[in-house]
Amino acid sequence: MYKYCIVPKCTNTSIKTPEKLFFNVPKDPKLRKKWYSIAKRDDKTTPSAQATRHCCEDHFDLEEDMENYVKFKLVGGKLKLKKGVLPHKFECQKPQKKKIDRPGFKKRQDIEYFERILSRNIGHEDLLLHSIEVVECENQDSNNIQNSDPLNIPEEIDVLSKNNVRSQKTQAVQVNMKPKMKTKSNNTPMKWKQPIVKKKVIPKNLDPNVSFTISNSNSSENIRSFGVNASDNESNDLEITKTMNKNFFNEHMQKGALMAISRDPKLLIGIPAHSYFCIKHLQNFTEISSIEILVTLRKIRWHDPNSMLAIHFGLSESSVTKYFNKTLPKIALCLNRLIIWPSADDVRENLPIAFRKRYSKAISIIDCFEIQIEKPSNASHQAATWSQYKSCNTIKYLISITPDGLINFISEGYGGRTPDSTIFEDSGFLDKLAQGSIVLADRGFKNISHLLEQRGCTLLRPPSVSSNSKLTAEEVLQTKRIAAIRVHVERSIGKLRDFKMIGPHACVDISYIHFLDNIVTIACGLVNLQNCLFSNQV
């Protein structure tokens, strides 16, 4: 009987973890409700009371919670929990995340905090005098009102020391949140002459960077309070700082990525150090920036998610996607020139020693390789790309190399169901062959001999194996010889597999399938830039 644990986020089942014990959830409605509640199970997903449900051993302490633990371990039997025992271990359920800070709410709290400070009693002894400025305002229609001592203002200080909201004098307290700035306030009508005393003071119990201005005026009847000037400038400054920090981070990440690539280009983008100058030629040919080229090559080399590439190169994720889509066809068009079909004389001049005795006329070694793709949603596409050999949906390519390992032909992509012989005939490979050429292939290329004979060429492949007959000694020896030299095409395919985007199990996303031909072309061109398969040729 299939069992699964009722605790949310617990993945234990009788199939996945058959070694674990599963306890029956009581069918009593009240007990069952307690079990579901303590397991934090949603009431909407609660099964009926008659349904048999289970809870795994991970949520109990077996030695303490089981009534027959020792007996069960020795001779087995029915699982019995002690009366009143409930699940109490929930390590599979992650703790709740902390609440996210809300900058707007915090800002309002700060404003309320300063308003509470300003509403407190501020006595004369709590003030530190920093500067005094007397401004004379004259009017012919009024009597002169002067005070010889600017600090002798008992009425005004008395107003500040009380919490009254009405007075015959005007006191204004203004707070400027910007440090090192002075604020002057003068709300006195100009109908008569009076001295206006401005005292810039700072309460002892406040931050010295917060400045106040107290104005004395006999003309006003009400106390006017200027609220805390926690202006939006601070939030703007914060946003500017964040932007600057982000730009600084992106700039340094990009510099680090470029430096790392220049130090080991073969590891990071598949170009050997001695051929790194090709990046400049790609720039000139494609008329795109080096950063766009490097992002695309890095994507092909390691199949990194766009989000990771964005961090590495200090870009946005949308920019990475845009760069890849824009530059890929242009780079493929340029690197396709590195996949050349050399003349027969050039091939013979660079023929490895292993070929010279028996296979001196060999021009090409061919094989097919497949790249796994995501399962298409369309049924006909599923059938066309299904590979019986790989047991998955694939795209298949025909590849040809010269005897010394140079990739001289790569076909377009075909569905994994397409036979090798069909690709051989349809890909245009036959048009490349000169009369008298020898082509080496494996047993998968059946029924293509007549195609080569029509062009005066020869197919060399291991003898076919029949279930009714055995190979002769000569055929076995020939099979070994052909396999020994055919292995070099497998080595070239292995170099292509170093580009993770076309690896054997890359499982290419459906959205990238129409890019595969360009990706394979770029990989083949970069492999041709790398060192030869054979070294120290004589």
Average pLDDT, integer, range 425-443: 92
pLDDT at 234: 63
Q: What is the pLDDT of residue 335?
A: 95
| pLDDT at residue 439 greater than cutoff 70 | yes
Q: What is the average pLDDT across 335-344?
A: 94
Give the C-alpha separation, 440 to 452, whole Å.
Answer: 12
Please provide the distance, in angstroms rounded to a whole number, between the alpha carbons at the two ends of the chain: 71
Tell whether the model's pLDDT for residue 396 goes beyond 90: yes
Query: pLDDT, tens digit, for every residue of 358-394?
Result: 888 899 999 999 999 999 999 999 999 999 999 999 9
In the chain, what percentage of residues exceed pLDDT 90? Answer: 43
Which is more confidently placed, 115 or 177?
115
- At residue 537 the predicted structure's pLDDT band, cuts being 50, 70 and 90, is low
Distance CA(166)–CA(29), nearest Å, equals 68
- Mean pLDDT value of segment 113-118: 67
Query: How do residues 470-507 score in pLDDT, each as one tens digit?
Result: 878 888 888 888 888 888 999 999 999 999 999 988 99
**8 A C-beta contact, residue 153 and residue 197:** yes
Instruction: For residue 351, give every residue at least 6 positions away whose Cβ sits within 8 Å of its Cβ, in sequence order, or none.
Output: 360, 362, 403, 404
* Residue 398 reports pLDDT greater than 90: yes
Q: What percent of the chain has pLDDT over 70?
A: 72
Average pLDDT over residues 96-125: 63
Q: What is the pLDDT of residues 133-144, one digit of tens each?
A: 444 444 444 444
Measured CA to CA, the distance from residue 312 to residue 316 in angstroms comes to 10
Q: Is residue 8 helix, strand or coil?
A: coil
pLDDT category at 519 given cuts 50, 70, 90 is very high
pLDDT category, 242, cuts 50, 70, 90? confident
What's the confidence (pLDDT) of residue 140?
44
Please give the pLDDT value at position 392: 95
Residue 438 predicted with pLDDT over 60? yes
pLDDT of residue 149: 46
Instruction: Label residue 256 by pLDDT band (50, 70, 90).
Output: very high
**Predicted confidence (pLDDT) per residue in 221-234, tens digit:** 444 444 444 455 66
Identify the pLDDT of residue 465: 66
Domains delineated in the chain = 1-97 (no CATH), 113-230 (no CATH), 235-335 (no CATH), 339-529 (3.30.420.10)
**Do residues 464 and 447 lie in contact, with contact meaning Cβ atoms separated by under 8 Å?**
no
- The string of pLDDT tens digits covering residues 53-73 is 889 999 999 888 888 888 888
How large is the average pLDDT for residues 167-176?
47
Averaged pLDDT score across all residues of the chain: 79
Question: Is 111's pLDDT higher than 90?
Answer: no
Secondary structure percentages of the chain, helix, strand, coil, to 5: 40, 15, 40
Q: pTM for the complete prediction?
A: 0.57
Averaged over 312-316, what is the pLDDT? Answer: 94
In the predicted model, what is the mean pLDDT of residues 189-218? 45
CB atoms within 10 A of CB 277: 10
Query: Does the pLDDT of residue 351 top 60, yes or no?
Result: yes
DSSP 84-121: T------TTSPPPPPPPP-HHHHHHHHHHHHHHHHTS-
pLDDT tens digits, 285-310: 999 999 999 999 999 999 999 999 99
In this prediction, residue 229 carries a pLDDT of 47
Q: Is the pLDDT of residue 461 over 70?
A: yes
List the one residue out of 159, 154, 152, 157 whose CA is nearest residue 127: 157
- Reported as a pLDDT band with limits 50, 70 and 90, residue 99 is low
